[in-house]
Amino acid sequence: MIKTIELGDFLSHHETLLDFDNGVTVFVGHNGAGKSSIIDAITFSLFGQHTRKSNKGLIRHGSTQGFAKVDFFVNGKNYQATRKIDAKGGLAATLAEIRNGERIEIAAGERKQFGESMTHEVERIIGMNFEKLKIASIVQQGELSTIIKAKPKEFKELLNAVIGIDKLDVASETLKIASKEFREKIKAGLGYDDTHIDILQRELEKHQNDLKESKPHKEELISIQQALQDSIAGFREKLEIDTPKVDKINQLEQRKIELLSYAKEAINEMRQGINEKERKVRECVGCFDRLEIKADLEKTSERIELAINETQGKIQELTSQIISIRERQSLAKKLQLKDNRCPVCDSYVEKLNPLFQQEHLQEELERIQKESNDLQKELSVYNQKKIEFSRKVQDAREAEATLKAHAINSQREIEEIQKEINQKKQSIQNIPSVHTGDLLAISEIDSHAKLIFENIRKLESDIVGFNMGDYNALRKTIDEKQVELSTCHQKIGAITEKISKGELHVREIQDALEELKIVKEYIVNIDNIQTNIFNRDGPVATSLRSWALNTISAKASEYLTLLNTKLQRIQLSEKTRDISIVCYSKTESLDIESLSGGEQVSIALALRLGMASLLGASNLNLMILDEPTTHLDADRKKALVGVLSQLSNITNLESSMQFIIITHDAEIFEDSNVEKIYRFESAENGSKVVAL
């Protein structure tokens, strides 16, 4: 039960503190005075839920934060639930237990990802979540009649929640989850679950049939394999005998190529030697003739050089004389006599010295020039002879150098070399061409060629009777047999692996089937429990609903009599999957749709009160009626007050039932014995609450 409710800047309340007793507490006041806010305060502080559009809407206008706090008793323990909200929408929540006046916090916040949830803890203590409490214990304004207007299936769900059959659903779902997790665990371990038994049985039979067919096939393949191995071994013995001959054939071809190659090289070397000796002879021919006149040529060349030097000296001397005469000619021009007078001293001179006479000087100049010209011609002849004899001397010297270079000391040596050249040319002409293939003739070149030829003769004798075509055919046969053998190996390996895997699968499936038979028996037992005990439509749930329907029917009929209607009894009954409501007067049964609005509300109130009686065993033991007198006439309102007055004495087991009635009809409680009545009034600084 609820002990106190404290509000601070919550909806229309600035500072409000309400105390509650067992039995009935009534809130009276005009609409908008803040009565229904108490319902939001209870659900918000306990579950964080309310009827407003947003959390921010819970803060009183003009304030920056608000809170709602509820103190309540459950099973003899005192708890306090507090939730705060600020202008940004931030929430703070704490749940505490009050022990000997000391507050001990047991839950805070809603960090469910960390396993922290105050709401979860409140649900555990109260035994209901918000939705279930709202359905069973809170009748909002205008919703009283929904209990009789609800569809039969919806009414059944409401009844299940009230009497706790929904917990069977939880148990049923938990059992389903346990069964599913058990199957998943079995499947994770075995790879199968009990639903695969038939499949595994068929798979087992398939593997067993495959094994029956595979084992004889393997034996047949092993026989074929042995036959192929024996055949290949015989062929290989013959091949090993002939294989060295193949190598000798290759060697024979290499030796022939080697002989021909060597012959080509030897002939080329002989021709190169002949060419070299011919070049030596060509360069040395005539060298001894030129060498014999070398000394005479050198002496003649020296005499010519001496004559050239003497002639050049005479020419030089004549050139000096010509220059002297020309200088005297220049002076003679200046010394011309005028009237036999000397142009220098003006003395009388009969005639000039011939040395200063122009005619004499001119004659002397012409004579010397002629002599100089003759010497120039003579010098030119000497120079030509010098060139000629220098060339002959150089030629003789080159002949001497050539003979030294070739180490030729006599004309006889040249003749011997020429004779050798002629002999080698004759030898080359006698050697057949390498293109003829006459290896015997070619081998006569030298001793090395003969050695190679003897090796060829021996190799040819070693391969007599060998046929390369037969040898290649034998190799091809072995290769084909080897391919067949390899294929046979693969088939044997594949069928061996198939047999091994098949035997392994057979063992695994047999083991799995043995275990799955036990699993299936266990699952069947679980399914039977789930179907017969925890199913909401099973025998247990049906019996509980039958008992609850009879209990509610009896209590609702009692309350209906107190409400002074023409109806005397209400009967709830379950048909198939629905709950039906039948009303009875003294003489007949009546359809709810045919009743007046007031009578329908009376039935709804009676059913709600009947459910409240049944809920007396719940942890919170609370029922809230918001404006329950709507649509009731004056007489029925008085009857309702009488019923509500009696509610103060209603108990279930050892716990008292607590009712909160919210109404604007304050006058109907003037003569009642309900003692706890609060009047709500609107005020400037928030709702004002006064105890009457």
Q: What pLDDT, in 10s, does the model give residues 21-60?
A: 877 889 999 888 999 899 999 999 999 999 888 888 899 9
Average pLDDT on 159-169 reads: 71
Tokens (6 digits) for 281: 């002879």
Q: What is the pTM of this model?
A: 0.47
Average pLDDT on 387-393 reads: 88
Query: Over 50: is that where the pLDDT of 599 sits?
Result: yes
Residues 6+ apart with CB under 8 A from 40: 11, 50, 51, 52, 58, 68
Of 22-31, 91-100, 648-657, least confident by mean pLDDT is 648-657
Q: How far is CA 204 from CA 196, 462, 513, in A?
A: 12, 67, 10
Query: Over 90: is that where the pLDDT of 263 sits?
Result: no
Other C-beta atoms closer than 10 Å to the C-beta of 544 total: 17
Q: Which amino acid appears at position 105 of this protein?
A: E
Report the pLDDT value the prediction gives residue 69, as an integer from 0 to 100: 97
3-state secondary structure of 424: helix
Highest mean pLDDT among 74-88, 156-170, 456-470, 587-601 belongs to 74-88
- Distance separating alpha carbons of residues 83 and 69, to the nearest angstrom: 7
Query: 113 falls in which pLDDT band (50, 70, 90)?
Result: low
Report the pLDDT value the prediction gives residue 651, as an integer from 0 to 100: 40
581-587 contacts at long range (C-beta below 8 A, 24 or more positions apart):
581/148, 581/155, 581/607
Which of 47, 463, 403, 475 is CA-nearest to residue 240?
475
Query: 555 falls in which pLDDT band (50, 70, 90)?
Result: confident
Question: What average pLDDT is seen over the chain?
Answer: 83
Which of 139, 138, 166 is CA-nearest to residue 43?
138
Query: 653 falls in which pLDDT band (50, 70, 90)?
Result: very low
Query: 654 falls in which pLDDT band (50, 70, 90)?
Result: very low
pLDDT in tens, 350-389: 555 666 667 788 888 889 899 989 989 988 998 999 898 8
Of 264-278, 501-515, 609-623, 668-682, least confident by mean pLDDT is 609-623
Highest mean pLDDT among 65-69, 105-109, 685-689 belongs to 65-69
Q: Does domain 1-127+623-638+657-692 have CATH number 3.40.50.300?
A: yes
Of 222-226, 417-421, 440-444, 529-533, least confident by mean pLDDT is 440-444
Other C-beta atoms closer than 10 Å to the C-beta of 209 total: 11
Other C-beta atoms closer than 10 Å to the C-beta of 92 total: 15
Instruction: Show me where the domains of the chain are located.
Output: 1-127+623-638+657-692, 283-420
Query: 262 falls in which pLDDT band (50, 70, 90)?
Result: confident
Average pLDDT on 224-237 reads: 91
Burial 337-375 (b: 16+ CB within 10 A, else e): eeeeeeeeeeeeeeeeeeebbeebbeebbeebeeebeeb
Report the pLDDT value the prediction gives residue 13, as an integer from 0 to 100: 94
Report the pLDDT value the prediction gives residue 47, as an integer from 0 to 100: 92
> What is the DSSP track for 539-602?
HHHHHHHHHHHHHHHHHHHHHHHHTT-S--EEEEEEETTEEEEEEE-SS-EE-GGGS-HHHHHH
Strands 2-10 and 13-19: antiparallel
pLDDT in tens, 397-413: 888 888 888 888 888 88
Percent of the chain with pLDDT over 70: 88
Average pLDDT on 424-445 reads: 74
Q: What is the CA radius of gyration of the chain?
A: 73
Residues 6+ apart with CB under 8 A from 62: none
pLDDT in tens, 662-678: 988 888 877 777 778 99
Query: Over 70: is that where the pLDDT of 68 sits?
Result: yes
Higher pLDDT, 464 or 140: 464
Of 135-139, 209-213, 278-282, least confident by mean pLDDT is 135-139
Of 46-60, 322-336, 339-353, 496-510, least confident by mean pLDDT is 339-353
Query: Over 90: is that where the pLDDT of 134 sits?
Result: no
Average pLDDT on 332-343 reads: 66
Highest mean pLDDT among 16-25, 592-601, 641-650 belongs to 16-25
Residues 6+ apart with CB under 8 A from 247: none
Query: Over 60: is that where the pLDDT of 152 sits?
Result: yes
